[in-house]
Structure 1
């Protein structure tokens, strides 16, 4: 890759892709004990940062996306296309791969 992304805001997902960032696990237990990074479990929750315009059906009509920017979602443990911008990690998933939307 000749040039690295300078900012995640310059990335716009295409078709039915969804840009997410996993929610970081707590570094400390409820009792106040700090956990080392190796003991922290990766969460399946993520925040939606950007969504594509939607896939096209056979007639050329746009299919609506199931999530929108700012939603909290449940994503699969594995899959998607992970990448880094600086020290931050992000993933691109298809709209159909997202397991659920978390309503709070």
Structure 2
């Protein structure tokens, strides 16, 4: 039993659907073998073939205006190679958690008060992991998120100078022991992650129903115990470890 073979269809015989009128693409179908399962197919079956599909490029946006308490951030460029020049695969590139505010919404209303967004355009900010929606604007990667997802404002390039927002606090993590009581050196993977440290900076507090700030129960200089798996670990330029978290994740003040 012989199989039917369609060797070539000239572009001139392909009719373009009106829904794709204006698209310019070279269309040619060649070397298509049909199984004996379709014995009724013949070359005449393809006269007047209509193409109803095409590849369409996603729209590019040149500007975005956030609404309400939303903030648009231009993401910091991801490092594609190490300091020694070794290129990093995509899976090992650190996803940035900082960027520059390029647009803000009009703010929100609490009670009788209309409150503006707490950050201004041009500010360098740090935001929570796994938050917001990524979008490309004018060829660059951006993130649009809620004001509450912003951890704090970077007044310098060093994380230890972070100015927390709302109910967030910045803690310098206690130093980890490099060796056991018997003198054995510990590897990084075997070092126990500490869950206490010293408060370095605090935010102004949460807003109540009348739009007033409620002071936080901890102050800079306090030693606190916090949830072991709290997020947003960061490292300062001098190598010391910091953590930024909500005050609700603090379990106790130590003295």
Q: Does 1:34 align with 2:185?
A: yes
Preserved contact between residue 83 and residue 91 of structure 1 (Cα < 8 Å) = yes
TM-score, normalised on structure 1? 0.81
- Change over 3 Å in CA distance of 1:24–1:38 after alignment to 2: same
In the TM superposition, what is the alpha-carbon distance from 1:42 to its structure 2 partner?
Answer: 0.9
Output one character per residue of 1:16-69: Cα deviation in whole Å (capped at 9) or x when no partner.
110012212211233333333332111111111100111110112211211110
Question: Which has the larger strand fraction?
Answer: 2
CA-based RMSD: 2.2
Q: Secondary structure at the match of 1:48?
A: strand
User: How far apart, in 1, do the equivalents of 2:161 and 2:191 lie?
Assistant: 30
Preserved contact between residue 160 and residue 236 of structure 2 (Cα < 8 Å) = no
Match of 1:51 in 2: 202
Match of 1:101 in 2: 253
TM-score, normalised on structure 2? 0.37
User: How far apart, in 2, do the equivalents of 1:100 and 1:57 lie?
Assistant: 23
Runs of 4+ in 1 over 6 A off after TM superposition: none
User: How far apart, in 2, do the equivalents of 1:33 and 1:82 lie?
Assistant: 27
Match of 2:213 in 1: 62
Match of 1:73 in 2: 224
Preserved contact between residue 160 and residue 242 of structure 2 (Cα < 8 Å) = no
The structure with the larger Rg is 2
